[in-house]
Amino acid sequence: MKLIRFLKYASLVYLLIPSLLFLLTWLHLGVGVIASFFIVIFVIKYIYQEQSTSCREVSRQYEHWWHIILMLLLSLLVNIILGIGEFKRQESDFVANNFKYYDLINHEWPLYYNHYKVHMCYYLGYYLPVAQLSKWFSIDNARYFALAWSALGLFFVFLWISTFIKRNGILLVLLFIIFPNGWLIYAAIDWLGWHREVFPHYFVLINDYYLVLSKFEDNWAWAPQHTLPAVLGACFVIETFLSKTINRSELVLMLLATMYWSPLASIGLFPFVLFFFLKDFQTLLELPRISELIWIVGLVIAFSPLMIYFISTEGVNNGNTGFVWNSGTPWWWVYYAVYVFANVGIWFFFLRRSPFEWSRLIYGSMIFMILLGIYKIGLYNDLNVRGVIPAYTIMSIGIAVWVINGWLNKRVGAYFLAMYLLLGGLQSIRNFWLQGINTDGPQTTIQKPFIGHYNSMLSFQESAYGDSTALKEYCLKKGGFFDKYLLKK
């Protein structure tokens, strides 16, 4: 089997496993079995038909066992250094993550909190397979299951990214890992002493309106549950662009499969899937395409219990939403312009001088990144922070390809951009090094997530947000459609 074909199949199965687990364990058995059965049939049909289509050829070096093992070892190393597996210090978000694991492992599904008298309503795709394995075997092994699950997904990502260039695939993966955000520009602003209160710690804060574009290293250390489906989905988008072959069934299947992992990742992937889906729109009305569309509609219906689940929360805190121009300062457009220049504009300045094969895809990613920051959802603007990951991934990989090719072709612009990229990447290199030599362990573990007087994920989140109304986002609405007709009792 060709490498690209293997990566497509393996990645789709990997992304689908949590959704199938949810359908079979959280829903009425009949509904769950029917939905899961249709999804499996759809996947088999997709694989059967995809076998007859052409597949992008890659350099044979990427199919060699030494390259594959190297990508697997790199994935393991990145995960271990950034705290997955509990060998190293973890970021503070893992206090909540470890509670999620613990609650899922030690309680029946669907997860019910007796103290709050509510069912959990949250995207748990990243956690569910690990929790299921830990239920079957032991919570003592949960840390190793978590490491294996994360490393496997990141292995697919690294191996796939390495194929996006004819030579120097390993270098491309390394540049992707250290690709910087706008921190150099923010650091210069801080050095000048201009509006420091708006640019603290390498992001933009307009009163309580956050504009954050995090590096891969930060995204993975803080939120692998969002990052993994986002970067894996971005690989499907790039593959579609490079192969110049649009498989609508594949893209829709990928998009729906990411939904239970992270709706924010799905939102970030949606514009790209929509673009390719509607490309050559006239062909959609041809007879073979109508049959494909009917199957896709059936797939969407099979995933509809998940969609209904997500909109069945008790509610969203309206105080954490709004447009950037309502952030409380007439200078918002200046600060937003700085955010755009630091994270997008500086790359565009170099790229526009020497357009190449990836340019249109990169420009599309840049436009989406600019637009996504306009509206805030969540206390820390999760829509911007997590929803932007697919577009940022596509942009960073594309620019890294441009830099490598430009360096080999001795373009002056590539030399300057390479220096900027590497200078900005020093922060990630430094962080990896310091985390690697740090001997501190995690604050909490999956086996012992308790901290202070908190004994569950909900009790911890209630304190973390400082507002009990914020818990509504994690709670299933009582008496709603999902609760009455779909939830397993």
DSSP for 448-461, written as a single string: ---BTTB-SHHHHH
pLDDT digits (tens, 9 = 90+) for 167-178: 899 999 999 999
| Burial class of 487 by CB neighbour count within 10 A (0 to 12, 13 to 18, 19+) | buried
**To 5 degrees, how large is the angle CA 455–CA 457–CA 458?**
95
Residue 436 sits at the vertex; the CA angle it makes with 432 and 437, to the nearest 5 degrees, is 125
Q: Cα(484)–Cα(421) distance, rounded to whole angstroms? A: 53
- pTM of the full structure: 0.94
User: Helix, strand, or coil here: 208?
Assistant: coil
Q: Please identify every stretch of the chain with a pLDDT value under 50, giving residue numbers as ranges.
A: none
Distance of alpha carbon 56 from alpha carbon 163, whole angstroms: 10
User: At 436, which amino acid appears?
Assistant: G
Can you tell me the distance from the alpha carbon of 323 to that of 375, in angstroms, rounded to the nearest whole number? 4
- Residue 316: phi and psi, rounded to 5, are -115, 140
Q: What is the DSSP string of 280-345?
A: TGGGGGSHHHHHHHHHHHHHHHHHHHHHHHHTTBS---GGGEEEGGGSS-TTHHHHHHHHHIIIII
**196, two tokens:** 């420091």
d(CA 189, CA 103): 44
What is the rounded CA–CA span in Å between residue 298 and residue 294? 6
Q: Are the C-beta atoms of 123 and 229 separated by less than 8 Å? A: no
Task: Tokens 């199919």: give the residue.
Answer: 63
Q: Which residues contact 337 (CB under 8 A, 6 or more apart)?
A: none
* pLDDT score recorded for residue 223: 94
Dihedral angle computed from the Cα positions of residues 430, 389, 15 and 68, in that order, rounded to the nearest 10 degrees: -40
- CA dist 157 and 89 (Å) reads 24
Per-residue model confidence as pLDDT tens digits over 320-364: 788 999 888 899 999 999 999 999 999 998 888 888 899 999 999
